Structure 1
Amino acid sequence: MARVRFVGAEPVTVPELGGRSVQPDEVVVVPDDRFDGYVCQLGTWEAVEEPKQEGPEPSLPAPKKTIAARAPQKDEG
């Protein structure tokens, strides 16, 4: 679960959190899949702890090998 801080000036009721009242500067736990819906409201919420990544860290692809070009063959004749 992710955590966000309410940065508004007055308490608000958040239906998604079971209708609970959230006080200014209070940190609340929100579902990972809803984290972006809170932090996109810059004047209302700020990120405290981002959602955990599931599975292994994505890895970068291996660099491709480069092969030097051969010198052109000489024509006889």
Structure 2
Amino acid sequence: MYSNPSQLDEQPITKYNVAEYRKHIALVSQEPTLYAGSIRFNVMLGATKPREEVTQEEIEAACRDANILEFIQSLPE
């Protein structure tokens, strides 16, 4: 079947809101990558809203969902 590179799901890609579309896709790396900075900084790289709007509870929920919260809590300061 022929696929038109300027279309997605048979719709012109120019009709899509890129920011909204990106909320529905994700990359799941097989190798974890940590960047220089705190764990909070690294988790915030995946935030979909402005940093100042992300709560500590949301960060902990994201870590819990990724099954890393207990590991993080076991680390020294």
TM-score normalised to structure 2 length? 0.22
Q: Which has the larger radius of gyration?
A: 1
Instruction: Pick 1 or 2: higher relative contact order, CA cutoff 8 A, min separation 6.
Output: 1
Give the structure with the larger strand fraction: 1
